[in-house]
Amino acid sequence: MKVLITGAHGQLGRALRAQAPAFWQVEAIDKGDLDLTDAAAVEAKVTSGGYDLVLNAAAHTAVDKAESEEDLALAINAGAVGALARGLACTGGRLVHVSTDFVFDGLSSRAYRPDDARNPISAYGRTKASGEDMAGPGALIVRTAWVYTAGGGNFVRTMLGLMAERDELHVVADQIGAPTWAPGLAATLLSLSEKGASGIYHHTDAGVASWYDFAVAIYEEGRTIGLLNRDVTIVPIPASAYPTPAARPAFSLLESSATRDLLGDRPPHWRVNLRTMLQEEKTLG
């Protein structure tokens, strides 16, 4: 099977490359290989490539920057997705596209189901919602949240750097969701792909957390394994005390029972995967 992975150098892209079945003929590309803002070039790439499957792990993920460059974010997060879908429609291939909890407004009192109405409150969320629409009815769309992995650019590694330098950190405590370890997300994407799934599914690690909870766990687990060697006080603050250009959903927990029922599995609690990631981070030095 001939497979194209976009966003190959990102957190998820690297995990997909590492876990791709040996019998797949994989071509992995990143922004240096193909300009995703050039829809014609993207469509031509897919049409001429004869891919059976495209795993789209590429995205404009700079949430705050998207507020001032929404056109660029739209071109990457939606325009490129439409181009991939059009190319695959010509060849009969399938599209697997990764989306986000940011398509929701955060006002729900329960975990968001795949069929819940979207109402994005940021430019990033709007462009990702448009990307879902552009993927087409035959695509597999998997929404996720709070993605991290060893060696990547993410909240965990940011916190580790700050904890190595500062005695006190203030972290938002009233935004609720669930962290997602990139290798676990990759495994779900590959399993859903192999089952030929289409439509919208959700994947995060098990459990619930605020950013404050996540930061406390990073500190505690990091101290336990000797990755952190100093005392740090972590202070919970409201999001209003840490204003950002883009609004974030206050509650973006994703309900993933349909995913788990189809695959017959249950992901580990987010703290279990965090321990694994921190051990890997320690090994990386």
Rounded Cα gap, residues 250 and 37, in angstroms: 31
Query: What is the spatial distance between Cα 260 and Cα 202, in angstroms, rounded to a whole number?
Result: 9
Beta-bridge partners for 178: none
Cα dihedral sign, 206-209-215-217: negative
Residue 124 among the catalytic residues:
yes
Computed on alpha carbons and rounded to an integer, the radius of gyration of the chain in Å comes to 19
User: In sequence order, which residues have a C-beta less than 8 Å from that of residue 199 and are 6 or more positions away?
Assistant: 114, 140, 141
Which residue of the set 124, 148, 201, 219 is catalytic?
124
Tokens encoding 180: 């997602």
* Residue type for position 130: S
C-alpha to C-alpha distance for 207 and 123, rounded to whole angstroms: 28
Q: In this structure, what token pair is assigned to residue 239?
A: 């999001």
**d(Cα 283, Cα 285) in Å, to the nearest integer?**
5
Which are the catalytic amino acids?
124
